[in-house]
Structure 1
């Protein structure tokens, strides 16, 4: 039996009617048995659902937001399907379920669980529309719910995979189906032991593709993006970018660790462990070669720039005139772990610990309240973290022009700076 291949299409590749048509054209000559298609929410749907949650949490009326979101999806369907097509009834039903879920009680205490239940609708709605359209185009495909095979713990918003259980489910439930049909499913979502919806972290659909690929012993994963492959910088932010024809797993993992947005950070490890190659290709130019990430890629030293926005610099200063010791670092990291906060940069001085973290709702307040008895705490919000891998000294000043530097550190292969606009 031929090995499975996994395709993943992100939000930009299903953002409107013409994008969905383009996806169908990409699949027209490629779709076959033993293929899994993973799709993200359409366009900026996840952001829209987060805005609805924010309004609900603050007690504001969010009904207009829900109406706008439903109309966005209805407009796409009207562009793709004839009047009276069953997809419109599916859509009405899913938005009815969403509105029922939004009527339930939300507080800071159950926010993460509530978030997962609500935000998952983006992927479910998107996958249903895409599957219906492919079938309407006579491309036969099975729609399957990813939550039935991707099993996680109950760590809502950052769920950890139960790899053994997930593999068993994929092999017993999906493998027999794939012998006869391709499967279309959702990225980003799973379910906990009680059957509650969980999510794998923002932009986690790439990770879904890697989970399914390793659990199904796939031959390859292809991520379809709006860029020609993996570039050495974001072309929207930096001029004269260069595409990598190939990358080793280690180099790709390093780039994603520092925040390169082209691939989700958790994607590389399971693929590397299983020796499954990852292709990053452009849905705007599907015949172009893109980038291949695999074990035997040649090493390069092209400077690579990664920019993370919405960063917070937090400094913890000891108050009793002692120096920073291991117990202080352990205390800070323990609280960070309990809040599921990841450190993007760390710097120690004799009397303080400085960390850079992503902006997340409530999390800074909670971190400060947990540590205010041990440290004097200061912070700056709205910052950018610039990381340059394989840096060339002469190029750094131009990247800092017009910015105030709040923190800086360098090693042989990495330069990092926390900056804000002057």
Structure 2
């Protein structure tokens, strides 16, 4: 029997009616049984839902923002469907459910769980619209709620996969359907053992595709992007980028670890463990080869530039005139783990620990509160973390022109620089 193929389409590939029509053309001559399509929320929908959450949390009126988000989806539907199509009452129903959730109480203490109940509506909306449009184009496709497949723990916003239950769900629920029809589902979302919605971390739809691939023993995963494949830098930020024709799993994992946004960092591991190749291709030029990530790739030591914005540098100084010891680092990491904060860079000196983390709502103030009894704490916000893999040292000065460097760290194959505009 033919092995399952997984296609994942991100927010840019379903951002408007033309993009969805383009998606349909990509699938038209490729779609068959044993095919899973994973879609993200449309365009910037996740950001807009986060704005609704922020307004709700601050006790501000959010109905106007919700109406704008609803109209955005309805406008796409009007361009794709006749007025009497069933999609319109379905969109209406999703927004009724969204407001039902938004009417529930929210606080800093239940924010993560509340976040996961709200934020998944983006994927539910986009998957319904895309599925209905593909069916209107003569492609018979089944819709699947990913929360019935992706089983997780209750670590809201950063849920960990229950691999045994997820595989069992996929084999018992999804595999029989795939023998007859292609299936379309959502990225990013799952559910815990009691059925409460969870999410896998921002941009987690790539990870969903990898989870499904590993659970179905798939033949390949293809991620469709608005770039030609995996590049050595973000073309929106850097000029003269280079396309990797192929990468091995280790090199790709290293790039995602440091923040390369083309692939979610958790995507590589399940595919590498199962030996499933990953293709990154352009939905703008679908017949181009893109990048293949697999175990047999030749390693290319091309300088690679990764820029993470909205970073926070936290400096922790011991207050009792002792030197930094393992217990101090353990204490800091214990608090970071409790707050689900990932360290993007760590540097120690005789009496200080410096960490660079992503900016997250509430998390900085909670971290400072936990650590102020043991350290003198200072921090800087609004920074950038530039990572250069396999650096050509002649290019570094140009990258720092107009910036103040707060911290720099060098290893044999990597340079990391925390910088801010002068």
Q: Give the structure 1 partner of residue 207 of structure 2.
A: 207
CA deviations over 1:48-104 (Å, ceiling 9, x no partner): 000000000000000000000000000000000001100001101111100111101
Number of residues of Structure 1 aligned to a counterpart in Structure 2: 422
Aligned pair 1:161/2:158, yes or no?
A: no
Q: Which runs of 5+ in 1 are unaligned?
A: none
Deviation at 1:321, TM superposition (A): 0.5
2-structure distance, mates of 1:298, 1:373 = 50
Q: 1:152 and 1:217 mapped to 2: Cα distance?
A: 19
User: 4+ runs of 1 displaced by more than 4 Å?
Assistant: none
Deviations 1:329-384 (Å, cap 9, x if unpaired)?
00000000000000000000000000000000000000000010000000000000
CA distance in 2, matches of 1:239, 1:46: 28
2:105 is matched with which residue?
Answer: 105
Deviation at 1:300, TM superposition (A): 1.1
**Superposed displacement of residue 299, structure 1:** 1.1
Q: How does 1:316-355 map to 2 (within 5 A)?
A: 316-355=316-355
Q: In the TM superposition, what is the alpha-carbon distance from 1:47 to its structure 2 partner?
A: 0.2
For 1:145, the equivalent position in structure 2 comes to 145
Structure 2 equivalent of residue 278 of structure 1: 278
- Equivalent residue, structure 1, for 2:368: 368
Give CA-to-partner distance per residue, 1:145-204, whole Å, 9 cap, x none.
000010000000000000000001100111111000000000000000110000000000
RMSD: 0.3
Alignment of 1:130 with 2:130, yes or no, is: yes
CA–CA distance in 1 between the matches of 2:350 and 2:104? Answer: 49
Q: Write out aligned runs for 1:11-410 (5 A).
A: 11-410=11-410
Q: What is the SS of the residue equivalent to 2:343?
A: coil
Cα distance between partner residues in 2 of 1:271 and 1:288? 23
Q: For 2:38, what is the secondary structure of its paired residue? A: strand
1:12 Cα deviation (Å)?
0.2
Q: Which runs of 5+ in 2 are unaligned?
A: none
CA–CA distance in structure 1, aligned partners of residues 3 and 239 of structure 2? 40
Tell me how far apart the structure 2 counterparts of residues 213 and 249 of structure 1 sit (CA, whole Å). Answer: 16
Aligned to 2:417, the other structure's residue is in SS state strand
Matched residue SS, 1:387: strand
TM-score by length of 2: 1.00
Shift of 1:289: 0.2
3-state SS, counterpart of residue 281 of structure 1? strand
